[in-house]
Amino acid sequence: MDGKIIVVTSGKGGVGKTTVTASVGAALAKQGKRVAVLDMDIGLRNLDVVMGLENRIVFNVVDVIQGRCKLRQAALKDRRIDNLYLIPASQSDEKSVIKPQNMTWLCNKLRREYDFALLDCPAGIEQGFKNAIEAADEAIVVCTPEVSSVRDADRVIGLLYARSITPRLIVNRIVPQLVEKGDMLSHADVVDVLSIDLLGLVEMDDAVVVSSNTGNPLVQQKESRAGMAFNRIAMRLDGHPDLPVEDPMAGRSFWQKVGKKLGRKNRTAKR
């Protein structure tokens, strides 16, 4: 197998990297791909909690790199979705125990075993970030419609381009009501400043919090708008690159609501 290594990064913390990694990984696995999600946040692991696998961890990614176990031993199979595996981070080590050359070795192993490997990058642009992007083929930059998040994402995009990795953008946590009132940056503003390919727009959704706490995959909840957005993002990553990006703002104005009732199709966002 010749899989793809995709790093999920943002610069700023708390914008939803872990949620994106877990959800996009689950969505890709639902489409029938063999997927590994790796927690690269050594020392502050939480991808296992979001996926509801925290009580099954025996080995972690540091054990794999230091030769204490095989890759397959550290990979935890998801309870609900076939073909989805989690390789957890170590909670007791520091980020410096992994060197960039270890990542090259690990990623080559992952490419042979899986169709997709999603790396959940730690916040910041230090050693942990450098490790995570070392051997990545692609990058997903997660950004919320906040000035601070946009600035950090911009910095990260510059660093990714410097490593010849072309990033794609997910704008997360859009609150259409606030955008409508002008109290939040619109996704168009964000895309305008960052000027990279848009992979998806994800609305703020209470189901995300519930899902993170229960470990119940977001992408299996049909009524969750965020879950559906992650499903479409996974389709764009695999096989349907031209699937139009749905604009969360579409259908919010009075006349558009009227139009919808009369059977007109939703507008789609400019890509």
Partner 1 sequence: MMMGLHMSHPDPPVRLKGVGDSLWITMDASLPVEVLKKELCKPFERLRHQAVNARIILDPGEKALDEPLLEDLSTFLKNRFQVGRVSRPPAPKAPPEDASTRPDPENGWLYQTEDSLVIAGRVRSGQKVEARKHLVILGDLNPGAEAIAGGDIIILGTLLGTAAAGQPDNESAIVVAMDFRPTQIQIAGYVAAGMSSSAGKKPEFASLDNSRVVVADYTKDNPFKRLAWPEVR
**Closest CB to partner 1 among residues 159, 249:** 159
> Sheet containing 116-120: which strands, arranged edge to edge?
76-77, 84-87, 35-39, 116-120, 4-9, 138-143, 167-174, 197-203
Binding residues with partner 1: total (CB under 8 A): 11
Is there binding between residue 35 and partner 1 (CB under 8 A)? no
CA distances from 103 to 9, 116, 122, 131 (A): 16, 16, 15, 6
* Binding flag, residue 79, partner 1 (CB under 8 A): no
In the list 96, 101, 177, 195, the residue contacting partner 1 (rule: CB under 8 A) is 195
Question: Which positions ≥6 away from 216 have C-beta within 8 Å?
Answer: 52, 80, 210
Considering the rule CB under 8 A, would residue 147 count as an interface residue with partner 1?
yes
Q: How many angstroms separate the CA atoms of 60 and 57, rounded?
A: 7
Q: Does 158 bind partner 1 (CB under 8 A)?
A: yes
Q: Which of 4, 151, 168, 225 binds partner 1 (CB under 8 A)?
A: 151
CB distance 169 to 245 below 8 Å: no
At residue 252's C-alpha, the angle toward residues 247 and 258, to 5°, is 120
Residue 193 binds partner 1, judged by CB under 8 A: yes
DSSP-assigned letters across all residues of 128-142: HHHHHHHT-SEEEEE
Nearest approach in angstroms of CB 179 to partner 1 is 18
Compare residues 74 and 157 and give the one whose CB is closer to partner 1: 157
Query: Residue 92 CB, nearest distance to partner 1 (Å)?
Result: 32
Minimum CB–partner distance for residue 4 and partner 1 (Å) = 25
Q: Does 157 help bind partner 1 (rule: CB under 8 A)?
A: yes
Task: Note the residues at the interface with partner 1 (CB under 8 A).
Answer: 147, 150-152, 154-155, 157-159, 193, 195
